[in-house]
Amino acid sequence: MFFNKKIIIIFLIIAIIAGLGLAVFLFCSNPKKQLELDFLNVEQGDAILIKTPYGQNILIDGGDGKEILRELPRELPFYDRAIDLMILTHPHDDHVGGLVKVLQRYRVKKILYTGVSHTSPTYLEWLNIIKRKNIPLTIIDRPQTITLGADLRLDILYPLESLLNKKMENLNNSSIVAKLIYQDQNFLFTGDLEEMEEQVLLEKNIDLRADILKIGHHGSDTSSSEKFLEAVKPSAAVISVGKDNDFGHPSLRVINRLERLGVKIYRTDLNGWIKINSNGKLNDIHSER
Amino acid sequence: MPFNFSRAKLFLYSNLVFIGGIALASFLPNRFLRYDLWFFGAAAGCAVIIILHYIFMKATRRRVAFVLFFIFFLLGVWRYSVSLPVTGPDKIWFYNGQKIEFIGTVNREPDMREDKVKLTVGALCLEGDISKCRLPVRGNVLITVPLYPNYNFGDTLKIKCELQAPEQIDDFYYDRYLAMQDIYSTCYNPKIDIVETGHIRSLSHKFYAAILKLKAKFADAMSVGLSEPENSLLQGMILNNRGELPQELKNSFAQAGITHIIAISGMNISIISVIIINFLIAFGLSRRWALISSAAALTLYLILIGLPASAVRAGVMAFVAMLAVFFGRLNKLTNALVFAAVLMLLLNPKSLRDDIGFQLSFLALLSIIYVYPIFKEWVDKIINVGTRYGAQLLQGIIDIIVLTLAAQVLTLPVIALNFHQVSLIAPLVNVLVLFLLPFIMVFGLIAPIFSILIPDLAWLWFAPIYFALKYMIFVADKAVKLPLAYLEIDYVWSGWAVIYYCLAILFIWRYNKNKKPDLKK
C-alpha cells in the first residue's frame, strides 16, 4: 500500500510545523505604528489600500477587476481577510469592477458611497452582493469626518449635497473627495473629480492643502486645474494610470503643471505599485520600479 | 495453429480494431462518412456471414475471428460517422453567419474567466414564444458575455446575435475542440434578455442545478479562505474550475512539467481513491468492500464537481488504478485500459483525435504499464538502495523520478506537437512537489466544510493548504528559471511522431520478447 501510518505521521508533523511557524510569524510580525498607503498597480483605474496604525484596512476603489486580486495579497498577509472600510468614489467600471471581486472574496465590514444613479451591470452586481451579504452601507450626503483613531481621521470633502438616486450627466463629478489626516500629514484623494467641481471646492474655501495628492481622473487634463493644484500644494503626487491606455492619460499638460509647481510625480504605469509609509511627520515613498 | 486466439486476446484485438476504425474515420474526409448506414449495414452483413458460417460450415475459428475484427472495425467507423453533425433548418448551426434571435437555456455550468464568461446555450426556439414556438431548433451555441450580469445554469434567455462557425486559430483546431463538446456555433457580445430564471424542466436538470449550487458553495468557501493565486490553483485542483487561473501560473506549471496536478487528472483522483481505500481497510473493512465503497465515494466526488468530461475520464482511470491496487499487478491491466478507452470513445468518438487530455491520460497510463517496468529494471541494476538508513525514502524518490521519466516517453510527441514546450526539469519538480498532493486533495475538501461551519476562522482552516500551495508555486517559479529547464519547440512534422511511436512499440515488443525466456528459467 502507498499510504500507511507513516504518511499520517508526516501529515501531523507538517500540520504541527505549520502551526508553530504561524504562531512565531504572528508573534514576530508585530506591526509598527505607522500609516501605510498602497497605490495598487491596477492598470487603467484607481485602487488605493490604506493600512492604518490601528489595524484598519481601508480600500478606496478597486480598478476594473483584472488586477486587484493579484495586488491585494501582496499587501495584506494571508490571515488578514477583512476590509474594514470600502469606499467607492463613483460607479464607473474602472473603479467599481475590482470592488465586486473584493466583495466576493474578502470580509467587508462597511461601505461608503454616494448612491448616485447608474445602470451598468457591474455596478448593479456590486449593489446586489452588498444586499445579499447584508453589509452596512453609508450614503455620503454631506461633508463629514470619520474618526479612525486619536490622531487619524478621514475628512469627506465632497459631495456637498446628497446625490442619492440622482442622474448625473458626468459621473466623474459625483466622485467622493476625501482627505486623510494623520498627525501633521495630509493625503488627498480626489477620485475622478473634474475641473468644474474643483472650482466649487475652491470657492467654498475648503482647506485642500495636502502633502500627497492622488491626481484626479488618472491625470486627464479635464482635472487638476492650476488653481486647484496651487491650493493643494502637494510635495508629491500619484497618478494611477494604465500603460498605453486608450484615453491618452496622463495629459502632458497636467504633468507640466505639476513640474512647474515642483511636485514629485509617481505614476503607476512607470513606477508600478507605490507605497507610502508615514509616521505622521515624514513620508517615505517606495515604488516597484 | 498460429492464429488461434485466446478469449482475452480476442477481446483485446476487437477493442483495438474498434479504436482503429475510429482513428481511420477521424482522418477520412467527411464525404466518405456521410454513408453511415452503409458501414452499419456492412457490419450487420458480416455478422450474418459469421452466423451462417457457424450454422452451415463449421468454419475454422481463425477465419471467423478475422471477420469479427472486420465487424468491429466497421462499427468504429460507423460510430464516428454518426457523431458528425447533420445540418438542416431545425439545427442552430444551419444559421451560422446570420444575425438571428433565438431562445435557449443555459445547459452547462458557466465557464467563468478572469474578464468574461462563456455560456453554453442549448437552443430551443427560433421564432415565436417559448410556450408557442413556431420554429423549434436544436443544438448548442457557445456565447461569450461580460462578467456581469450573472447567468446561471437553467436560465432561459432570449439571445440576439450573429452566429459564427468556430474556426481554427493559428495551429489550434478551435473548431474541432468545440465540436468535441457538441458545439458548432459561437457568438460574441450578444444582446440578452432573460425570459425566465431558475425554471428547470426535467428532474435530471434539477439534480444537476442542485449539484452546481453545492459546488459553488465550496468554491466560495475557498475564495474567502485563500488569496490569489492560491485560491484559483486549489479550485483547479479540486473543483476543476480552471478558468480563472492566471496565465503566468499556467505557463510556469507547464514549463515545470506539473500541469497534470492542476487538471483533475487520473493521478489526482487515483490518489484520493487509494487514500479512501486504505482508510477503509484501516477501519476493518474487507478489501472488496473497501474497493466498492471507494468507487462509490469517487462517483460522489465526480458528481460533486459536476461530471466534467475530463474528470469522468480520470474517474475511469482511477478505477483502473484501484483495480491495480486490488489485484496488485499492473501488467494485467492492458485489457481493462483498452476497454475503458473503448467505452469513452463510444460516448464521444471525437476525443480520439481532438481531446489532448484523453490522449495524454491513456499514453501516460500505457507508459506506466509498459515503460515503467523497463526503466525500473535498469535503475534497480544501477542503484541498489539496500537497507541503509532512509532506504525507503530514497526508494520512493527514485520511484517518482523513474515514473515521471517513464510517463514522458509515450506522452512526449503529443506534448511537443500541441504545446510546443517540453519540460526537462519535470522529474525534479515532481519529486519536490508530488508528495504534497494527497495532503492538498484531502484537506482541500475538508477545509471548505470547516469554513462554511465557522466562517470567521476561514483563513485558519486554509492556512496549512495555503503554505503547501505557496510552496508549489514557489518551486515551479524557481525551477523554470534554471537554465535548460524546458525546451521551446517551434514546429514538428507530425510524421516524426508516427516514427517515434513505431520505434517505441518495436522496442517495447522486442524487450518483452527477449525477457520471456529468462522468466521461464
Residue-wise pLDDT tens digits, B354-377? 888 888 888 888 887 788 888 888
Query: Which of residues 17 through 46 in chain A touch B, CB cutoff 8 A?
Result: 18, 21-22
| CB neighbour list of residue B360: distance below 8 Å, 6 or more residues apart | B411, B414, B415
A35-39, strands of its sheet edge to edge = A137-139, A111-113, A85-87, A57-60, A48-51, A35-39, A274-278, A283-287
Residue B196's pLDDT is what? 82
Name the minimum distance, in Å, from the CA of A166 to any CA of chain B: 22
**pLDDT above 70: residue A2:** no
Q: Report CA torsion sign: A141, A142, A147, A148.
A: positive
Residue B284's pLDDT is what? 75
A78/B226 touch (CB, cutoff 8 Å), yes or no: yes
- When comparing pLDDT for B379 and B331, which is higher? B379
**pLDDT above 80: residue B156:** yes
A122/B246 touch (CB, cutoff 8 Å), yes or no: no
What is this model's ipTM? 0.82
Mean pLDDT of the A257-275 span: 92
**pLDDT above 60: residue B189:** yes
| Closest by Cβ to A105, choosing from B224, B325, B468 | B224
Name the minimum distance, in Å, from the CA of B459 to any CA of chain A: 5
Query: Nearest CA to B486 among B408, B431, B374, B410?
Result: B408
- When comparing pLDDT for B69 and B394, which is higher? B69
- Band the pLDDT of B266: cuts 50, 70, 90: low
**pLDDT above 60: residue B413:** yes
- Band the pLDDT of A32: cuts 50, 70, 90: low
- Band the pLDDT of B388: cuts 50, 70, 90: low
A4/B459 touch (CB, cutoff 8 Å), yes or no: no
Give domain limits for chain A. 1-30, 33-287
DSSP label at residue B169: B
Mean pLDDT of the B375-397 span: 76
Average pLDDT, chain B: 82
- Any idea which of A132-136, A202-206, A212-216 has the lowest mean pLDDT? A202-206
- Band the pLDDT of A145: cuts 50, 70, 90: very high
Residue-wise pLDDT tens digits, B269-304? 766 676 677 777 777 778 788 888 888 888 888 888
**pLDDT above 70: residue B59:** no
Q: Which residue has the cell 467527411?
A: B30
Residue-wise pLDDT tens digits, B416-466? 888 888 888 888 888 888 878 878 888 888 899 998 898 888 888 898 899
Query: Which of residues 230 through 289 in chain A touch B, CB cutoff 8 A?
Result: none
Residue A57's pLDDT is what? 93
- Band the pLDDT of A154: cuts 50, 70, 90: very high
Chain A within 8 Å of B193 (Cβ-Cβ)? no
Return the bridge partners of B156, or none.
B105, B196
Return the bridge partners of A82, or none.
A107
**pLDDT above 60: residue B518:** no
Q: Return the biggest CA–CA distance within chain B.
A: 80
Cell numbers that stand for B360 in this block: 495524454
| CB neighbour list of residue A161: distance below 8 Å, 6 or more residues apart | A141, A142
Residue B377's pLDDT is what? 84
Residues in chain B: 521
**pLDDT above 90: residue B65:** no
Chain A within 8 Å of B328 (Cβ-Cβ)? no
The CATH fold assigned to A33-287 is Metallo-beta-lactamase; Chain A (3.60.15)
Average pLDDT, chain A: 89
| Closest by Cβ to B150, choosing from A1, A22, A125 | A125
Cell numbers that stand for B26 in this block: 477521424
A69/B148 touch (CB, cutoff 8 Å), yes or no: no
Burial class (CB in 10 A: 0-12, 13-18, 19+), B394: middle
Q: Is the peptide bond before A77 cis (omega within 30 degrees of 0)?
A: no
Cα separation, B159 vs B224, in Å, equals: 33
- Band the pLDDT of A1: cuts 50, 70, 90: very low
Mean pLDDT of the B488-503 span: 84
Highest averaged pLDDT of the listed ranges B137-141, B326-330, B452-456: B137-141
φ, ψ at B192 (rounded to 5°): -125, 130
Q: Which residue of A has its CA nearest to B437?
A: A11
Cα separation, B274 vs A158, in Å, equals: 62
Cα separation, A148 vs A145, in Å, equals: 9
| Closest by Cβ to B228, choosing from A22, A69, A81 | A69
Residue B2's pLDDT is what? 44
- Any idea which of A255-259, B216-220, B481-485 has the lowest mean pLDDT? B481-485
B149/A22 touch (CB, cutoff 8 Å), yes or no: no
**pLDDT above 80: residue A16:** yes
Burial B304-335 (b: 16+ CB within 10 A, else e): bbbebbbbbbbbbbbbbbbbbbeeeebeebbe
Mean pLDDT of the B50-64 span: 68
**pLDDT above 70: residue B516:** no
Chain A within 8 Å of B117 (Cβ-Cβ)? no
**Separation of CA B407 from chain center:** 16
Residue-wise pLDDT tens digits, A35-89? 999 999 998 899 999 999 988 999 999 998 888 988 999 899 888 889 999 999 9
Query: Nearest CA to B337 among B322, B351, B350?
Result: B322
